[in-house]
Amino acid sequence: MNCAICMTTSSIPYHCCTNDKHCLCESCCINIISSIINNGKIALLLSNKIPCYICNEKFQYNDLPQNLQSDLNNILLTIPKTSKQPQSIQEFNYYYNEFNQLRHCITNKKFIFLTQRHYDLLGKAIEIYIQTLIKSNPWNYEEIWLPINDNNQNQEKVNIFISNDFRTNTNGCLILIQGCGVVRAGQWSRSCCINESLDIGGID
């Protein structure tokens, strides 16, 4: 059967919808799915909302090549299963490698965007990860919540970090303030912390 895109004969055609004539060779199928993933539309694919490349019928991903199915299953593992408010990047099956780059625990691939909520939750977990590093060797910063000694549970608070010689150093005080928006202490850019590295997106 000929591929509907490149017209080459394929011994193992892959259907992109229920129409038997709309078949793709493995190469074209991989290119289309890779493009969907790279353009941040994988959530639409997994929810059957991507139209067939040829017609408007919804894309069927159950008959994809095995390597693509494996990739999709690994991407699904980045959705936390244990909590609605995950606190660690490990719950997303991500980790930071020796180059401070965010990578998938199984595939070692870069972050794949699923939904804005997924992105925001991961960003919160990265915030916790970075601030844990700040309080550890070699920095050993002290975390202080402001306002101090406020017992009002409804009062919004913010945390700052001070060096261990803050109270004794008489040579001056350097104050670092991160940007506005979702970034918190320890970050310049959440996007860079996720897509580039902590060396670029974090405050070292």
pLDDT at 90: 97
Separation of alpha carbons 27 and 8, rounded Å: 10
Are residue 120 and residue 158 in the same domain, yes or no? yes
C-alpha distances in Å from residue 157, one per residue of 13, 51, 153: 58, 46, 9
Are residue 120 and residue 67 in the same domain, yes or no? no
Last residue of a domain, one of 61, 76, 91: 76
pLDDT, tens digit (0-9, with 9 covering 90-100), for 44-87: 777 777 778 778 787 766 667 788 888 888 999 999 988 889 99
C-alpha distances in Å from residue 71, one per residue of 106, 109, 125: 10, 10, 23
How far the first Cα of the chain sits from its last, in Å, is 57
Contacts 24+ apart (CB under 8 A), 78-87: 78/104, 78/112, 78/114, 78/118, 78/122, 79/114, 79/118, 80/121, 85/121, 85/124, 86/121, 86/125, 87/125, 87/128
Last residue of a domain, one of 32, 52, 76: 76
Those residues whose C-beta lies under 8 Å from the C-beta of residue 137, and which sit 6 or more positions away, are none
Residue 175 CB neighbour total at 10 angstroms: 6
Are residue 3 and residue 29 in the same domain, yes or no? yes
- What ranges make up the beta strands (E) of 87-177? 94-96, 102-104, 142-146, 158-162
- Domain assignment of residue 95, given as a range: 81-204
Are residue 139 and residue 55 in the same domain, yes or no? no
Residues 1-18 have a mean pLDDT of 80
Those residues whose C-beta lies under 8 Å from the C-beta of residue 169, and which sit 6 or more positions away, are 163
Last residue of a domain, one of 26, 60, 76: 76
Contact between 4 and 52 under an 8 Å Cβ cutoff? The reply is no
25: domain CATH number is: 3.30.40
Are residue 98 and residue 123 in the same domain, yes or no? yes
Strand bridging mode 94-96 / 102-104: antiparallel
Are residue 89 and residue 126 in the same domain, yes or no? yes
Are residue 126 and residue 61 in the same domain, yes or no? no
Are residue 108 and residue 194 in the same domain, yes or no? yes
pLDDT, tens digit (0-9, with 9 covering 90-100), for 115-129: 899 999 999 999 999
pLDDT surpassing 90 at residue 21: no
Number of domains in the chain: 2
pLDDT at 60: 67
pLDDT, tens digit (0-9, with 9 covering 90-100), for 99-154: 999 999 999 999 999 989 999 999 999 999 999 999 999 999 999 988 887 777 77
pLDDT at 57: 82
Are residue 53 and residue 16 in the same domain, yes or no? yes
pLDDT, tens digit (0-9, with 9 covering 90-100), for 170-184: 998 888 877 678 888
Residue 4 main-chain phi, psi, to 5 deg:
-70, -15
Those residues whose C-beta lies under 8 Å from the C-beta of residue 91, and which sit 6 or more positions away, are 80, 82, 83, 125
Are residue 69 and residue 85 in the same domain, yes or no? no
42: helix, strand or coil: helix
Are residue 122 and residue 188 in the same domain, yes or no? yes
Rounded to 5 degrees, what angle do the CA atoms 131, 136, 139 make?
Answer: 90
Tokens of 49: 């909302």
Are residue 102 and residue 176 in the same domain, yes or no? yes
Helix axes 26-38, 66-76, angle to 10 degrees: 20
